[in-house]
Amino acid sequence: MAANLLKAGWEVTAWNRSAGAVAELRQLGGKPSETVAALRDQPVIVFMLPDLSYIEESASGLLDEWRSLAPAPGTAVVVMSSVSPTGVQEFARTVHSASGGNAVVVDAPVSGGTTGAQDGTLAIMAGASEEVFQRLLPLFEAMGTTVRRMGALGAGSLAKACNQLIVGTTTAALAEAAELAERSGMDAAALFEVLAGGLAASRVLEIVGPRLAAKDYVPTGPAKFMHKDLKFVLESAEAVGAAVPMASAGVELYRELIDQGLGEKDLAVVRQAIANLSGTYAAS
């Protein structure tokens, strides 16, 4: 994502938990930063870390800097991670207080996986005022091809939670279908090929289907994060009194996946988790 910003002509100063990633970005023309706090004077600060707790920890020094000397008015803190809709609103209140009201938080999570990030074709769902969104639109368009303002702060994270509800449960359903088919003597790859020509066709089937059929669980992103994301669906649903039975089932399944020690593997490993459960059911 940072590399695509550089390609689009943005000046990028970056900090990363891994020095190797910063070195790679430097070769592309980016500038390294020793700490997050050293980014205090940047007009836009983008966070892309596994969860809000990582962002809060890494931003603590930055906020201390701002408490001593407030940043320029209009400074934007953009959270592009998949985080809790209510949690990002609380984080925004902390940033507002620490910055003397000069910094605004925008949530803009993404969908599209590693391929979308590399190709600059991410879907980006933003939660911000219209004015702030328009100001940041060129930034988003350097990283994604489908960019939408979903509403006020928190709306982007809710949209991503809905996205993960569909991706997580669809992947699980495809995994169930693959297991059922193969245990019945059918070829899963052939099944997915014919499904792709009908109503069951989807981007999830197109992208994750081949990995499910081949039992290829080399991680493109850890499966354990789906459990976290589906819990955000439950949290949001509880707040508005919505029934989410599929999300509830998904939370249980991905919790089981983690308990089986499969959380660091690719999302497609949900097929292995289901296969392991099949053995449990047979034994019982």
The residues assigned a catalytic role are: 160
Q: How far is CA 39 from the centre of its chain?
A: 23
Residue 146 CB contacts under 8 Å (≥ 6 apart), including other chains: 122, 123, 124
The rounded distance, in Å, linking the Cα atoms of 191 and 136 is: 43
Token pair 């953009």 in the structure block, residue:
78
Q: Which residues of 11-22 are buried (b: 16+ CB within 10 A; e: fewer)?
A: ebbbbbeeeeeb
Cα–Cα nearest to 60, from 33, 30, 91, 102: 91
The rounded distance, in Å, linking the Cα atoms of 251 and 123 is: 24
With 0-12 CB in 10 A as exposed, 13-18 as middle and 19+ as buried, what is 259?
A: exposed
Q: At what angle do helices 85-98 and 224-240 cross, to 10 degrees?
A: 90
H or E element: which one contains 105? strand 103-107
Do β-strands 122-127 and 110-111 pair in parallel, antiparallel, or remain unpaired? Answer: antiparallel
Task: Return the bridge partners of 127, or none.
Answer: 107, 151
